[in-house]
Amino acid sequence: MTELLLIAGICIAVLIIFRRFVSGEKCKSKTKLHGKTVIVTGSNTGIGKATAVELAKRGARVILACRNQVRGEVAATVVKRESGSKNVAFMQLDLASLKSVRSFAEAFLKTEDRLDILINNAGISLHGTTEDGLGLMFGVNHIGHFLLTNLLLDRLKECAPSRIVTVASYLHNFGKLDFDCLRKHKEFGLGESYIDTVKIYSHSKLCNVLFTHELAKKLQGSNVTCYSLHPGAVDTDLARYMNKTLRRFVYRPIAALFFKDVEAGAQTTLHCALQEGIESLSGRYFSNCAVQKGSAKAQDDALAKKLWEVSETLSGLS
């Protein structure tokens, strides 16, 4: 009997230590944000919502930029309750529509005085096309954020020192930019299988890292800095579109044991948004609350420049 209790105790202890290990590093910054304004895209759930709660706790005015009005308003209520702050507002933004990105930016610039931190967090892992005929993952994860950032850049410069944080993924390492394919299909790769989804998602995440690399160069001397990051493997709704059987019997058990919860998943975003003294690392890629070496591909100057030009055309900026 006592042996059984002992074994059970050891198992629980091992599980607790293991889960703490899974959680990874915490953002150590004590930065407060009273009087500052922050936008978090895709913040009605997952990592974005956990990020919004923490930023609101630190005193920021937090704008939840989400595509669905009902989900966005419900989230605003929850973020207010969980943070104890009333300074939280929902504004509609559908990154799968360039028109929606433009009207969001217009409304934001008209109604808000400041922008101190822009967090490009929204992401999707699903086949399809955007309103403008772009591949859905490429259009939402990259092009929508590209346009949004550019439209808000002057306000960020006025409020400098300010920051732009883009949530990428470790999977960017498997991404590839096929500009020929893009010219034909306005999306990186085509396909329907699950493996195709992962591939195209990875391409879009490579775009996030390269975008940040090029943006940092354009922002030199402005006191606006930018960072991309991998949040870790996080137990969120990102797999909501996965085949039900696969999700239930493969994804769920793995996620429950090995994935971070959303609070742990928000830590590297928070580090990039808040940590003092990382300004000289502008343009770099972070993981586990630390800058990473980054692959050659993700720091390829020519590739980043070409992606920027293509993105200007596809987003209607030039």
Ligand X SMILES: *[C@@H]1O[C@H](CO)[C@@H](O)[C@H](O)[C@H]1NC(C)=O
Ligand Y SMILES: NC(=O)c1ccc[n+]([C@@H]2O[C@H](COP(=O)([O-])OP(=O)(O)OC[C@H]3O[C@@H](n4cnc5c(N)ncnc54)[C@H](OP(=O)(O)O)[C@@H]3O)[C@@H](O)[C@H]2O)c1
Task: Note the residues at the interface with ligand Y (CB under 6 A).
Answer: 41-42, 44-48, 66-68, 71, 93-96, 121-124, 140, 167, 169, 230-231, 233-234, 236-238
- What does 94 interact with, of ligand X, ligand Y, none (CB < 5 to 8 A by kind)? ligand Y
Query: Which one from 170, 194, 201, 251 is the annotated catalytic residue?
Result: 201
- Binding to ligand X (CB under 6 A) within 219-258 occurs at 221-223, 243-246
Cα distances (angstroms) measured from residue 172 to each of 24, 124, 168, 201, 251? 20, 14, 7, 8, 20
Q: Is 201 considered catalytic here? A: yes
Q: Which two tokens stand for residue 242?
A: 């996965």
- What does 244 interact with, of ligand Y, ligand X, none (CB < 5 to 8 A by kind)? ligand X
- What does 149 interact with, of ligand X, ligand Y, none (CB < 5 to 8 A by kind)? none
Residue 79 contacts residue 56 (beta carbons within 8 Å)? yes
Q: Name the amino acid, one letter, at 258.
A: F
- Binding to ligand X (CB under 6 A) within 112-171 occurs at 160
Q: Which two tokens stand for residue 171?
A: 């999977």
- What does 67 interact with, of ligand X, ligand Y, none (CB < 5 to 8 A by kind)? ligand Y
**CB nearer ligand Y, residue 225 or residue 228:** 228
> Closest Cα partner for 103 from 71, 55, 151, 174?
151
Least distance in angstroms from the C-beta of 106 to ligand X:
25
> Which residues are bridge partners to 90 per DSSP?
64
Least distance in angstroms from the C-beta of 135 to ligand Y:
12
Q: Which residues bind ligand X (CB under 6 A)?
A: 160, 221-223, 243-246
- Catalytically active residues, by annotation: 201
